[in-house]
Amino acid sequence: MADPARARRLAKRIGAIVASVIEYEIKDPRLTMVTVTDTRVTNDLHDATVYYTVMGQTLSEEPDYAGAAAALEKAKGVLRTKVGAGTGVRFTPTLTFVLDTIGDTSRHMEELLDRARAADAALAEVRQGAVHAGDADPYKVSSVDETADDEDDERRPD
């Protein structure tokens, strides 16, 4: 079992190599908008998971996730060869590519927060003219009860 610090350093190096090879050496047009976001290596240094995201060509265009996944799967052998040559480890880790959905998750969270802010603003508007239901002091005690309690206190021996 390898040192976890060594696994982190190897993961960082693998991510840099994969990103560089995708950008400069692989000429597949489906990989032009692929960005490597994170890389994780198991502690035994045999498996590496590369997280990636795909950007759209324009803001209104939906990214081609399936095309990018197919292109990465096709280029997996070349990428593993380059990783082996670039890292110099005894056993080149197997590469697994996982779509990183952190961007979609953050957009969804922002939408939920916007909805919560709007609901809070609507509630604040309703609360402006609101008054409490019932009496202003619901725990008010009648004067008859107060005198009865005072008499009971005087009769009790200490």
pLDDT tens digits along 87-137: 988 899 999 999 988 877 888 899 999 999 999 999 988 888 787 777 777
11 contacts 46 by C-beta, under 8 angstroms: no
Domains annotated on the chain, with CATH:
4-101 (3.30.300.20)
Please state the length of the chain. 158
Task: Determine the pLDDT at residue 64.
Answer: 85
Q: What is the pLDDT of residues 22-74, one digit of tens each?
A: 999 999 888 888 999 999 999 899 999 999 998 876 666 788 889 999 999 99
More confident residue, 156 or 71: 71
Distances in Å between the alpha carbon of 80 and those of 41, 53, 116, 150? Answer: 14, 19, 46, 90
pTM above 0.85, yes or no: no
C-alpha 19: how far from chain center? 22
